[in-house]
Structure 1
Amino acid sequence: MIAFLARRLVATLATLLAASVVVFLVLEVLPGDPALLMLGTEARPDTLAALRGQMGLDQPAPLRYAAWLGDMASGQFGVSYTYGRPVGELVAERLAVTVPLALMALVLSVAVALPLGILAAARHGGAGDWGVMVFSQLGISVPGFWTGMLLVLLFSGQLGWLPSGGFPGWGNPGAAFAALVLPAVSLAFYEAAIFARVTRSAVLDTLREDYVRTARAKGLGWRAVLWRHVLRNALAPVVTILGLQFSFLWAAGTLVIENVFYLPGMGRLLYQAITQRDLIVVRDVVMMLVGVVLLVNLAVDLLYAAIDPRPRAGTGG
């Protein structure tokens, strides 16, 4: 297990380093002067020179990359030109919205998808199976922002049960939770569709294994076989998809939904930084998102190894 963990840590660090090189080079090859791009053509020369010094543009690119890498390793991020505040402070504030939103969406999607996937596999070819497949296809096909707008029209416009957007802060937990319900459902609808389909396929594949037929031949009941033997072995691919989808929720899913519902989260921060040409925030936030995705994938690898020991037992993997 220690060797397995060491290999995964080395791969994660190597990937993070490669991603930092890509992010730095992408901003480097942008046409024109980055400081001029941020301030506009009407910027005063002294203001332009000050921003160039703040961004380190008066130094060679390798030195700027090394300094940026060292600052990130020590937890010292840059200062946003638009907000005039350290990027770390901005991110800490926005995480208080994005993390609960992503977790709510993940919990909702798993709570809906796992029973539906198991039901579809247990009723393979029946009405329940067809119903779950229709739900899955619908959830994958409908964009999240469209689902969000429909939910706003129904629960905010027609019924008036939930707010249509904005975030009051966690000073009032009830209002804050209510503000995240519709965005979380919008995200969970798509995620639940994927989880339900993956769960159905995994359970069906496991049901065809020889040990399942042996257990049934020994007289073990259907429910006992399903819960004792099938589900644990079927969870491995589900856990993998779960980690990938949580990374999607964190890095991409909230980018659209937070702007639809005007939530001050990480996705909206990145969108505003792009529109305001705040390249310092864009660079640091993108690297933070990459780091979170890699950490989630590392956690999924470890959880997968705990469920199924075969990957860590093999010499290659």
Structure 2
Amino acid sequence: MLAYIIRRLLLIIPTLLGILLLNFVIIQAAPGGPVEQMIAKLEGFDGATSRISGGGAEVSVAGSNYRGAQGLDPELIAEIEKMYGFDKPPVERFWIMLVNYLHFDFGDSFFRDASVISLIEEKMPVSISLGLWSTLLTYLISIPLGIRKAVHHGSPFDVWSSTAVIVGYAIPGFLLAIMLIVVFAGGSYLDWFPLRGLTSNHFEEMTLGQQIVDYLWHLVLPVTALTISGFATLTLLTKNSFLDEINKQYVVTARAKGLTENRVLYGHVFRNAMLIIVAGFPAAFVGVFFTGSLLIEVIFSLDGLGLLSFEAALNRDYPVVFGTLFIFTLLGLIVKLIGDITYTLVDPRIDFESREG
């Protein structure tokens, strides 16, 4: 097992490098980069003095012989390219980026007066709250529900619960969020929950107990909108996995020995049926944690990582784009490895070495 873990850790290096290289090529080829955006902004001025600050550089438009329709002075354009690091060829820029990333130096945002790390730290609490609670609730509800559906397969409970989870899955999360706001957040009916933010304005003045209640109170609607759509896949996956195991010979043998139904279900079937659920946990967690909350963050005015990444991509804020890509990809690969290791914790009979052999 140790050798397998070492090989997987070593494979993370070329995988991460390939992902960064592919995205670097695509993004560099896309039009409307930071240099083009800055030039477009400057061409809207007419003889006024404008200062461009970033990376320690300042450029005066009034002193650059700018003359309206004649365009910007080539020297000014060259200075803008140098300010954003585009005075170097792409290969050199990519190499410099990799060297900096080895020291976890992700640079500063082009358009925000902050480093990439500080921006991620600032937005992390929102994404942790949404991702952690929605994933936890999805698993706590879907797994017991899927087991019960498997035990009572074909019963009225199985039929109506399947209908309910499929209807929930069919409703987009952002549409459900709007419906929740209209009904429960002072829209047209009830005013039970706050409309925006993760905490109240007077949060710092509250006691610890009041802060916990206020925090959970603000999370109810966005977490509900994220969780409902995640029920169907995991619930039906759990049900089908348990149905496959229940019909196998070792279950018939266990029942023939006189074991109780709960002992058969949770002592024998559970360990084997949960393997596929465990395998899907890392992908589900990473998906909700990093990408699934963008529209929810916008609707509920939550400034998290999803909104940060989206705005960085629109603005061609390359340090933020590649910094978050590096961190999220590295974390995703590590979590995927942890998911494989969890296989052996659920069922010690699994041996990755013998499987490869």
Question: Do Structure 1 and Structure 2 share a fold, with TM-score over 0.5?
Answer: yes
Counterpart contact for 1:52–1:58, Cα < 8 Å: yes
1:193-237 Cα shifts (integer Å, max 9, x gaps): 221111101111111121111001111111111111111111110
Name the counterpart of 1:9.
9
Name the counterpart of 2:176.
147
Distance 1:127 1:48, change over 3 A: farther
Name the counterpart of 2:315.
276
Name the counterpart of 2:98.
69
Distance 1:160 1:49 in 2: 56
- The structural deviation recorded for 1:156 is 1.0
1:218 counterpart (257, 262, 270): 257
Name the counterpart of 2:20.
20
Distance 1:67 1:154, change over 3 A: same
Name the counterpart of 2:38.
39
Q: After TM superposition, what 4+ stretches of structure 1 lie above 4 angstroms from structure 2?
A: 44-51, 169-173
Three-state SS of the structure 2 residue aligned to 1:196 is helix
State TM-score, norm by structure 2: 0.82
Distance 2:149 2:8 in 1: 35
Counterpart contact for 1:212–1:225, Cα < 8 Å: yes
Q: Which range moves more in the overlay, 256-265 or 272-281?
A: 272-281
Distance 1:50 1:193, change over 3 A: farther
2:164 counterpart (127, 130, 135): 135
Name the counterpart of 1:114.
143
Counterpart contact for 1:97–1:263, Cα < 8 Å: yes
Distance 1:283 1:91 in 2: 12
State TM-score, norm by structure 1: 0.92
Counterpart contact for 2:130–2:223, Cα < 8 Å: yes
- The structural deviation recorded for 1:47 is 6.8
Counterpart contact for 1:117–1:132, Cα < 8 Å: no
Counterpart contact for 1:108–1:185, Cα < 8 Å: no
Name the counterpart of 2:30.
30
Three-state SS of the structure 2 residue aligned to 1:297 is helix
Structure 1, unaligned runs of 5 or more: none
Name the counterpart of 1:247.
286
Name the counterpart of 2:197.
166
Distance 2:346 2:76 in 1: 57
How many residue pairs get aligned? The number is 316
- The structural deviation recorded for 1:40 is 4.4
Name the counterpart of 1:316.
356
What is the root-mean-square deviation in Å for CA atoms of aligned residues? 2.1
Structure 2, unaligned runs of 5 or more: 43-60, 62-71, 205-210
Distance 2:308 2:224 in 1: 21
1:79 to 2:108 alignment: yes
- After superposition, where does 1:189-204 map in structure 2 within 5 Å? 189-204=228-243
Q: Percent identity?
A: 30
Distance 1:159 1:47 in 2: 57
Larger helix fraction of residues: 1
